[in-house]
Amino acid sequence: MNISLTGRHLELTDAIKAHMNTSIETLNKFNMDIISVNVVASAQTKKGKEHSVVEFVINLAHKNSIIIKQNDDDLYAAIDIATSRAQKAMRRMHDKDTGHHKVGLNEIKAEDVDVKTATLEQEDEIVPVELALYKPREVEDVLNDLKESDKIFEIFIDHEDKTRVLYKKDDGKFGLY
């Protein structure tokens, strides 16, 4: 990474250069393949007040450059704010790169097959059951069988050849369809 530090209308002391270099080194944690960083620090006077302006130009490989310009009364504060803005911009680019993976056609086909097999496994299966007794039964006999078992209902055919259902209610009584 090439680092260029420039001062306009102000002399860069060793302390300022060291502060800029440590600020630039914090940008390496994003692993973004930084080609060069140009920092221009300048002093400007507006309306009789002097303030410092720091401009960061970060050139990245295979991506757009990041340009940040920050004004502040204190030069060190301007450097810190510009650095935090640069970190935020690089974090966004890093998250975008790592969060948006390109998916190939083979992965999409494999995922589609997995979804289809999962939906087939989740479908309810209806199994036909034959009634054990086809001969007509009395309601009292079915009621006694239902009381002795832990079943909730019993389906049977009565003496008039009607299919009937005897069931247990929540209050302990029985109902008949």
Q: What confidence tens digit (pLDDT) does each residue in 100-135 have?
A: 666 667 777 777 766 666 555 566 667 676 655 567
Confidence of residue 17 (pLDDT cuts 50, 70, 90): very high
Give residues with Cβ within 8 angstroms of 8, minimum separation 6. Answer: 40, 41, 42, 43
Per-residue model confidence (pLDDT) at position 8: 94
Per-residue model confidence (pLDDT) at position 38: 96
Q: Give percent of the chain with pLDDT exceeding 90.
A: 42
Identical fold between 2-99 and 139-176: no
Per-residue model confidence (pLDDT) at position 128: 72
Q: Give percent of the chain with pLDDT exceeding 70.
A: 84
pLDDT exceeds 60 at position 3: yes
Q: What is the CATH number of domain 2-99?
A: 3.30.160.100
In angstroms, the CA 148 to CA 146 distance is: 5
Architecture of domain 139-176 in this structure: 2-Layer Sandwich (3.30)
In the chain, domain spans: 2-99, 139-176
Per-residue model confidence (pLDDT) at position 74: 93
pTM over 0.75: no
On average, the pLDDT of the chain sits at 85
In angstroms, the CA 44 to CA 20 distance is: 19
The candidate with the shortest Cα–Cα distance to 58, out of 41, 29, 34, is 34
